[in-house]
Amino acid sequence: MAEETQRSVSLTRTGSQQYDVENVRGGRITIGSGQNTDFTPVELLLAAIAGCTAIDVDILTSRRAEPESFTVASTGDKIRDEQGNHMTNLEVTFRVGFPAGEGGDKARALLPEAVRTSHDRLCTVSRTVQLGADVTMHVATDD
């Protein structure tokens, strides 16, 4: 059962504050600390929230009509307080345009419900952030 539910990535240092991340399918991205164009881990968190919910909304609405435009903005404030560094005020804003006609009308009407369903039930990323999940850290030796 764990193999069916487990997800993983592997991160390898490639330089000072630069890393390659690879998934089990061979996909790769580079991340960094914000000194160049590489995405930072916080930006990846925002992208994961936007991407996860966008996929849900796209699947639900595009059954009615193919969107003419589809953008999602994901924002938040990175703060440091007595709880340490963390994000607050996370917001996701959809701007989706559908064509005129019956299919577009149905997709437009469904859009708010699709966003709500993704937020309340479907999007694993935002649900995990909202519900909270323990993160356990380990140190393994190469010995």
Q: For 99-143, how does the pLDDT look when each residue is reduced to its tens digit (9 = 90+)?
A: 999 999 999 999 999 999 999 999 999 999 999 999 999 999 987
Range of 29's domain? 1-39
Residues 125 and 57 in one domain: yes
Task: For residue 131, report the phi and psi dihedrals to the nearest 5 degrees.
Answer: -80, -25
Number of domains in the chain: 2
**CA distance linking residue 23 with residue 83, whole number of Å:** 31
Helix H or strand E segment including 89: strand 84-97
130-139: b or e for each residue (b if 16 or more CB lie within 10 Å)? eeeeeeeeee
pLDDT greater than 60 at residue 1: no
Q: Looking at the domain assignment, is residue 53 inside a domain? A: yes
Q: pTM of this prediction? A: 0.91
Q: Looking at the domain assignment, is residue 141 inside a domain? A: no
pLDDT per residue over 48-75, tens digit each? Answer: 999 999 999 999 999 999 999 999 999 9
Residues 85 and 19 in one domain: no
pLDDT value of position 139? 96
